[in-house]
Structure 1
C-alpha cells in the first residue's frame, strides 16, 4: 500500500528495498535465535510471496474493473494522524520488547 500511494519512483524503490531488507533480517533472526529451521523460514517466505501475488492480482483486477480509486486526497490532519499512529505503534513495540522480551536491556 505504501508503494501504491507513493508518487515518487525513488521513494517506491526505497520502500521496496527497506521492507525486503527487514523481511530478510527477521527471517535470519528466527534462524539465529534457534526458533525455526531454514526450511521453516523459506516456507514462510514462499507463503508470503504467494499471498502478496494474490493480493496484487486482486487489487489490479479491481482497478481495471473501476472498483478502486487510488487517487486519495489527504488532508494535513489525516497525514499527522497516520504519522502519530506509526510513532505510537513503534513506541508500544519498544516498550513491549523492553518489558517482556529483553529484560536484560532494563
Structure 2
C-alpha cells in the first residue's frame, strides 16, 4: 500500500540531523533536478550509504535531506522515508 503524502512533516522535528549516517532504501533516478546527470539516470542505488549534510524544506511541508554519498561523489536531496538511519541514536528511525 502506498504511503499517503498528505502529512506536513515540518510540524515535527526532522528525522535526521547533519552528520547522521544514513542508507538509501530505494534506487533513485535523476528527476531533472541534478545538472550533472541525465534525466532518468540512476544517481543512488538501494543500499548506498552517505551522510546528511544539510536539512531543508520543500513546499513548507516536507523535510529534504541533502545526503552526501561519498562513494558516488554526489549530494542528493532525499525525503526521510527514502532513508534509514545508521547511527543508532535514540529517536533515529
TM-score, normalised relative to structure 2: 0.20
**How does the TM-score come out when normalised to structure 1?**
0.19
| Greater relative contact order (CA < 8 Å, ≥ 6 in sequence) | 2
Structure with the largest fraction of strand:
2
Q: Larger radius of gyration, structure 1 or 2?
A: 1
